[in-house]
Amino acid sequence: MSKKILGLGLLTIASFILIMISCTKTTTVPIDETPAITTTVSFSKDIQPILTKSCAVSGCHSGTVAPNLSDATAYNALENGNFINTSTPKSSDVYLWLTGKKAVPMPAGAANNPSNINALMLAWITQGAKNN
């Protein structure tokens, strides 16, 4: 009987080792990180349309709540209001608001928030936050 138990124990250990050896790491998924965008991000083509649709709406950032993200004022409001930090992009106020690290993630409700707005904003700031 003890040989049977010993054999079962060895089989269990061998199975465990085989399972552990067969496990491989193929991808590292960063936690709480924004995926990198490597293409040039344009304020007028990529950022402003999102701000117009999702942020510069009645009762929000259309003149009622700072910064005013309407078409005519968004860039200057972000730049002059110190919402952008090109030295340390992830500490930019606009990025912290979008990601929910300042308060509730913006845009509020997130129904109009494209999944890549955080990545686009971070890439744009990292690329120098140009008015392009």
pLDDT confidence of residue 94: 93
Domain locations in the chain? Answer: 43-126
Whether 102 shows a pLDDT value over 80: the answer reads: yes
Short-list 114, 96, 108, CA closest to 61:
108
Which uninterrupted H or E stretch holds 2?
A: helix 2-22
pLDDT for res 11: 64
Average per-residue pLDDT in the chain?
79
Cis, peptide link before residue 67, omega less than 30° from 0: yes
* pLDDT of 28 over the 60 cut: no
pLDDT confidence band for 10 (50 / 70 / 90)? low
**Which of 44-48, 56-60, 118-122 shows the lowest mean pLDDT across its residues?**
56-60
Residues 6 or more apart from 59 whose CB is under 8 A from it?
65
Task: Report which residue type is found at 2.
Answer: S
Check residue 5 and give its pLDDT: 59
DSSP state of 70: S
Q: Encode pLDDT of 65-80 as tens digits.
A: 899 999 999 999 999 9
23 has a pLDDT exceeding 80: no
Which pLDDT value is given to residue 101? Answer: 87
Please determine, for residue 42, whether its predicted confidence score (pLDDT) is greater than 60. yes
